[in-house]
């Protein structure tokens, strides 16, 4: 009898030990936020692994006799030889309106000292993007408030538009202006029947803490923070946090989209994201390919950006617009990561150091920038005044390059250059000063109808500012009518004409 009991308890022990080994692992190596564990044979891909002390890991490599985990948060207390256990949960982050106005880390934990986050629920960080059927094509504009973008590279809700350029060319500024403009519009139309606010998520990846602090300050100052969530994974954190942050931000944005609302997400920037993923992959000893990136680096960004979408009515009519940012080296858009992301997005806003240094700001190179889907969402009045601008601008650039060598220009060439000079001036815009769509349309109407033609080029930007303040102070009802009618007809044209004539009398 004793023998049998001994035998049975030995077997139970063995099973328990195996089960325990299945769900509890021992850290055999730990470096730079990547741990390799013995045991944990039950771990699932992307499962949260509890390392104790508030440190969470994610199982990324499921090997035959070991599991590779990346560690999120401050992992300084985790040591080799320590234990970690499976949780049975996939990595998820809190979502909901309670995140607006908050700064959180890659796991959605508060970084702003404003207390607990009141979440509406948790969304998995990785999710399959909506298929074709629940989507519809973009049909509502996302006004960035940047005249050049709204006129020549219009963005629609649900679109993915890449902002790409070298260091310090104004990439972040464009994205932040778009966020600030959403807040301005939200404030202006709050409570109006049928108005759909846009909520923003700004994901800071691998930036200096001082930069992130400046961004928070700017958004606070401009009253945009209350509509915005900032997901911060700074350069000081380990690569795993940088790798997860955009997916976490995306889940927070998806909440708005899935619940019939509109959201805008900025990934600043995906070059640093790719570098963080490369680091994680090398530490996990995955085979590396071109530029030492792992073979699935395309999938890294495609599965993220595919999640931005415009859903159809049956699916709640929500949208998630994505503005990923990529930093290039010496304008090289054909490098590995830039070409990947260009091919995934619906267009790109290309910024040039040369233009930036010449004071052409925003430093958008119109010729190689494109927005492939947004124009179907542009309001008609905008199309009426802006449809030909991109072509005119391209023609002007080409002729201007030649004209600097010759002095004798035929009348037609001179006319194109004169007009282009003024167009280029009109498109200059300081950062943090987004314009309303009404003012943008009115300025372009005046340009199209020759009201800037006899103004010296050097004074055009003053004239533009004067027109804007004249209209907002003296003709607010006309500005309102532009948006209300949404298109120019004979009557509105006549009103604009008389308003512009009046303005020109005040602007000598």
Specify the residue, 339 or 353, whose C-beta has the smaller distance to ligand ATP.
Answer: 353
Q: Tell me which residue of 439, 410, 444, 411 sits closest to 427, measured CA to CA.
A: 444
378 binds, among ligand ATP, Mg ion, none (CB under 5 to 8 A by kind): none
461 touching ligand ATP, by CB under 6 A: no
Six-digit token string for 429:
């815009």
Out of 86, 143, 169, 348, the only residue in the binding site for ligand ATP (CB under 6 A) is: 169
361 touching ligand ATP, by CB under 6 A: yes
Compute the least distance from the CB of residue 321 to ligand ATP, in Å: 19
Out of 362, 374, 420, 434, the only residue in the binding site for ligand ATP (CB under 6 A) is: 362
Residue of minimal Cβ distance to Mg ion: 172
Compute the least distance from the CB of residue 147 to ligand ATP, in Å: 11
Out of 86, 143, 144, 173, the only residue in the binding site for ligand ATP (CB under 6 A) is: 173
Q: Using CB under 5 A, which residues numbered 228 to 267 contact Mg ion?
A: none
170 touching ligand ATP, by CB under 6 A: yes
Specify the residue, 168 or 415, whose C-beta has the smaller distance to ligand ATP.
Answer: 168
Q: Which stretch binds ligand ATP (CB under 6 A): 226-234, 386-394, 428-436, 470-478?
A: 428-436
Q: Using CB under 6 A, which residues numbered 321 to 340 contact ligand ATP?
A: 327
Q: Tell me how far apart the alpha carbons of residues 228 and 101 are, in angstroms, rounded to a whole number.
A: 5
Compute the least distance from the CB of residue 473 to ligand ATP, in Å: 24
Angle 490-506/437-448 helices, nearest 10 degrees?
A: 80
Q: Which stretch binds ligand ATP (CB under 6 A): 93-101, 170-178, 377-385, 408-416?
A: 170-178
Q: Which stretch binds ligand ATP (CB under 6 A): 49-57, 118-126, 167-175, 242-250?
A: 167-175
365 binds, among ligand ATP, Mg ion, none (CB under 5 to 8 A by kind): none
Q: Tell me how far apart the alpha carbons of residues 37 and 44 are, in angstroms, rounded to a whole number.
A: 14
Q: Tell me how far apart the alpha carbons of residues 425 and 403 are, in angstroms, rounded to a whole number.
A: 18
Specify the residue, 117 or 176, whose C-beta has the smaller distance to Mg ion.
Answer: 176
Six-digit token string for 187:
């404030």
Six-digit token string for 23:
């769900």
Out of 61, 143, 144, 172, the only residue in the binding site for ligand ATP (CB under 6 A) is: 172
Compute the least distance from the CB of residue 359 to ligand ATP, in Å: 8
Specify the residue, 166 or 254, whose C-beta has the smaller distance to ligand ATP.
Answer: 166
What is the SS3 assignment for 364? Answer: strand
Out of 302, 431, 449, 472, the only residue in the binding site for ligand ATP (CB under 6 A) is: 431
Size of the site for ligand ATP (CB under 6 A): 14
Angle at 190 between CA 441 and CA 112, to 5 degrees: 105
Q: Tell me which residue of 207, 218, 165 sits closest to 327, measured CA to CA.
A: 165
Compute the least distance from the CB of residue 325 to ligand ATP, in Å: 7
Q: Tell me how far apart the alpha carbons of residues 234 and 217 are, in angstroms, rounded to a whole number.
A: 16
429 touching ligand ATP, by CB under 6 A: yes
- Which ranges constitute the DSSP H helices of 100-238? 147-152, 171-189, 209-221
Catalytic residues: 372
Q: Tell me how far apart the alpha carbons of residues 414 and 401 are, in angstroms, rounded to a whole number.
A: 13
Compute the least distance from the CB of residue 211 to ligand ATP, in Å: 7
Q: Tell me which residue of 206, 200, 204 sits closest to 215, measured CA to CA.
A: 204
Which residues of 19-148 form beta strands (DSSP E)? Answer: 24-31, 34-39, 47-50, 56-62, 67-72, 83-90, 92-95, 103-104, 121-124
167 touching ligand ATP, by CB under 6 A: yes
Compute the least distance from the CB of residue 202 to ligand ATP, in Å: 12
Which single residue is written with the structure tokens 């009515």?
313
Q: What is the CA radius of gyration of the chain?
A: 27
172 touching Mg ion, by CB under 5 A: yes
- Which ranges constitute the DSSP H helices of 336-475? 336-344, 353-357, 380-386, 389-403, 411-427, 437-448, 460-474
Compute the least distance from the CB of residue 307 to Mg ion, in Å: 23
Size of the site for Mg ion (CB under 5 A): 2
Q: Tell me how far apart the alpha carbons of residues 468 and 506 are, in angstroms, rounded to a whole number.
A: 13
Six-digit token string for 10:
């030995």
State the residues that interact with ligand ATP by CB under 6 A. 165, 167-173, 327, 361-362, 429-431
State the residues that interact with Mg ion by CB under 5 A. 171-172
């Amino acid at each position: 009898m004793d023998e049998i009991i001994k035998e049975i308890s030995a077997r139970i022990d063995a099973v328990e030990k195996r089960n325990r080994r299945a769900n509890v692992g021992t850290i055999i190596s730990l470096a730079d936020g990547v741990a390799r564990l013995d045991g944990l044979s039950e771990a699932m891909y992307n499962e949260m692994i509890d390392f104790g002390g508030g440190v969470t890991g994610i199982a990324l490599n499921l090997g035959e006799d070991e599991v590779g985990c990346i560690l999120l948060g401050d992992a300084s207390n985790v040591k080799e030889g320590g234990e970690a256990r499976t949780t049975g949960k996939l990595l998820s982050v809190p979502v909901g309106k309670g995140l607006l106005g908050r700064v959180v880390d890659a796991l959605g934990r508060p970084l702003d000292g404003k207390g607990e986050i009141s979440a509406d629920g948790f969304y998995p960080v990785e999710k399959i993007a909506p298929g074709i059927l629940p989507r519809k094509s973009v049909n509502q504009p996302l006004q960035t408030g940047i005249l050049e973008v709204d006129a020549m590279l219009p963005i629609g809700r649900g679109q993915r538009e890449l902002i790409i350029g070298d260091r310090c060319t104004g990439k972040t500024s464009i994205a932040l202006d778009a966020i600030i403009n959403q807040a301005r519009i939200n404030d202006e139309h709050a409570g109006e029947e049928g108005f759909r606010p846009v909520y923003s998520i700004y994901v800071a990846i691998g930036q200096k803490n001082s930069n992130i602090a400046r961004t928070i300050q700017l958004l606070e100052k401009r009253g945009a923070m209350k509509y915005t969530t900032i997901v911060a994974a700074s350069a000081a954190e380990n690569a795993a946090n940088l790798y997860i942050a955009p997916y976490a931000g995306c889940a927070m944005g998806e909440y708005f989209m899935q619940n019939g609302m509109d959201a805008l997400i900025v990934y600043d920037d995906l070059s640093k994201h790719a570098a963080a993923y490369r680091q994680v992959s090398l530490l996990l000893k995955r085979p590396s390919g071109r530029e030492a990136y792992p073979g699935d680096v395309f999938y890294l960004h495609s599965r993220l950006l595919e999640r931005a979408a415009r859903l159809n009515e049956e699916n709640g009519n929500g949208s998630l617009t994505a503005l990923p940012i990529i930093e290039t080296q010496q304008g090289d858009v054909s490098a590995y990561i830039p070409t990947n992301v260009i091919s995934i997005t619906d267009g790109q806003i290309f910024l040039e150091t040369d233009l930036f240094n010449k004071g052409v700001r925003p430093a958008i190179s119109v010729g190689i920038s494109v927005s492939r889907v947004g124009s179907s969402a542009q309001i008609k009045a905008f199309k009426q005044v802006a449809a030909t601008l991109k072509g005119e601008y391209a023609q002007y650039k080409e002729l201007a390059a030649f004209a600097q060598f010759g002095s004798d220009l035929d009348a037609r060439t001179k006319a194109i250059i004169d007009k282009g000079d003024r167009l280029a001036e009109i498109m200059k815009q300081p950062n943090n000063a987004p314009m309303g769509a009404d003012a943008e349309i009115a300025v372009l109407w005046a340009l199209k109808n020759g009201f800037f033609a006899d103004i010296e080029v050097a004074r055009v930007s003053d004239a533009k500012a004067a027109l804007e303040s004249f209209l907002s102070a003296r003709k607010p009802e006309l500005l309102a009518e532009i948006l209300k009618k949404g298109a120019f007809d004979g009557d509105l044209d006549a009103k604009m004409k008389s308003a512009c004539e009046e303005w020109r009398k005040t602007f000598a």
